[in-house]
């Protein structure tokens, strides 16, 4: 009997020793997890430390949630809505186009007044948009001083899904667009507007507008010009609002 008890006791001791050894040799999972978390946290961009904050873009009410029928346009970006991530820009960045003078190639719009393009109204309702004539037309915004431009947001028309053609956005130092002209966006793939063939994609208009990233290009300019050449619904050109996000160059 004693022999059996001795064997049982010895077996228990062996089991205890094995268990202790396993736990002593096992990596500390909680420590490893904490290390991973700290590494991930250290890799995240810290907007406050970098002086960047998300742009506060006030969006109009959406008029549709999807496309009722396929839009057959070449070089068309996949349709998405409500998915645009926040756009970081320097602290103090605002819409410097608000209320600024606007001129255009069509000095007698079919609908609306050219000044409506910078009046702050981005809604899709009738009476909120300007309708320009057919063929290639352009509008020019005078920021009235040189600005560091970080983003341009365009709302052509968003009562329904449409694609506008030959959309080109340029900036320059002079109103005639002769000095220091730079192209920020160009989806005129066949150079029908005569400004050079572009590589940007066509896109479907939505209430979010089309945001053009200028921050990475370090754009500094006074004048912003936008071209278009009709749309997939008709030959006319429309603008609801154009916003230019930036800061006066002299303040930086």
Q: How far is CA 3 from CA 11, 12, 153, in A?
A: 12, 14, 88
Largest CA distance in the chain: 113
Q: What per-residue confidence (pLDDT) applies to 169?
A: 98
Q: What per-residue confidence (pLDDT) applies to 42?
A: 28
Whether residue 239 contacts residue 139, with contact meaning beta carbons closer than 8 Å, is answered with: yes
| SS3 assignment, position 207 | coil
Q: What per-residue confidence (pLDDT) applies to 111?
A: 98
Q: What per-residue confidence (pLDDT) applies to 35?
A: 28
Cα dihedral: 144, 98, 233, 85 (round 10) = 110
- The structure's pTM equals 0.80
CA dist 151 and 169 (Å) reads 11
Residue where the block lists tokens 């340029």: 170
CA dist 250 and 252 (Å) reads 6
Q: What per-residue confidence (pLDDT) applies to 46?
A: 39
Q: pLDDT tens digits for the chain (252 residues)?
A: 434 434 444 444 444 443 334 334 333 333 332 322 222 222 223 344 479 999 999 999 999 988 878 999 999 999 998 889 999 999 999 999 999 999 999 999 999 999 999 999 999 999 999 999 999 999 999 999 999 999 999 999 999 999 999 999 999 999 999 999 999 999 999 999 999 999 999 999 999 999 999 998 899 999 999 999 999 999 999 999 999 999 999 866
Bridge partners of 236, per DSSP, are none
Bridge partners of 228, per DSSP, are 137
CA dist 79 and 95 (Å) reads 26
Q: How far is CA 34 from CA 9, 31, 52, in A?
A: 40, 5, 28
Whether residue 203 contacts residue 74, with contact meaning beta carbons closer than 8 Å, is answered with: no
Quote helix, strand, coil % in the chain, to nearest 5: 20, 30, 50
């Amino acid at each position: 009997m004693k022999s059996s008890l001795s064997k049982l006791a010895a077996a228990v001791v062996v089991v205890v020793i094995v268990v202790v050894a396993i736990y002593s040799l096992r990596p500390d999972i909680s420590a490893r997890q904490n290390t991973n978390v700290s590494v991930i946290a250290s890799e995240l961009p810290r907007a406050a430390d970098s002086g960047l904050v998300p742009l506060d873009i006030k969006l109009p009410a959406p008029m549709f949630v999807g496309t009722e029928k396929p839009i057959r346009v070449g070089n068309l970006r996949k349709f998405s809505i409500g998915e645009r991530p926040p756009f970081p820009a320097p602290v103090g960045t605002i819409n410097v186009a608000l209320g600024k003078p606007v001129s255009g190639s069509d000095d007698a719009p079919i609908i609306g007044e050219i000044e409506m393009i910078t009046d702050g109204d981005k809604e899709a309702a009738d009476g909120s948009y300007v309708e320009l004539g057919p063929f290639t037309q352009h509008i020019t915004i005078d920021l009235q001083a040189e600005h560091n431009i970080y983003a341009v947001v365009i709302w052509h028309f968003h009562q329904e899904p449409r694609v506008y053609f030959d959309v080109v956005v340029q900036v320059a130092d002079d109103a005639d667009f002769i000095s220091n002209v730079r192209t920020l966006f160009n989806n005129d793939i066949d150079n029908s507007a005569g400004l050079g063939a572009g590589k940007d994609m066509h896109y479907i208009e939505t209430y979010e507008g089309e945001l053009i990233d200028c921050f990475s290009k370090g754009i500094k300019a006074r004048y912003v010009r936008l071209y278009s050449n009709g749309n997939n619904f008709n030959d006319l050109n429309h603008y609801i609002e154009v916003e230019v996000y930036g800061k006066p160059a002299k303040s930086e």
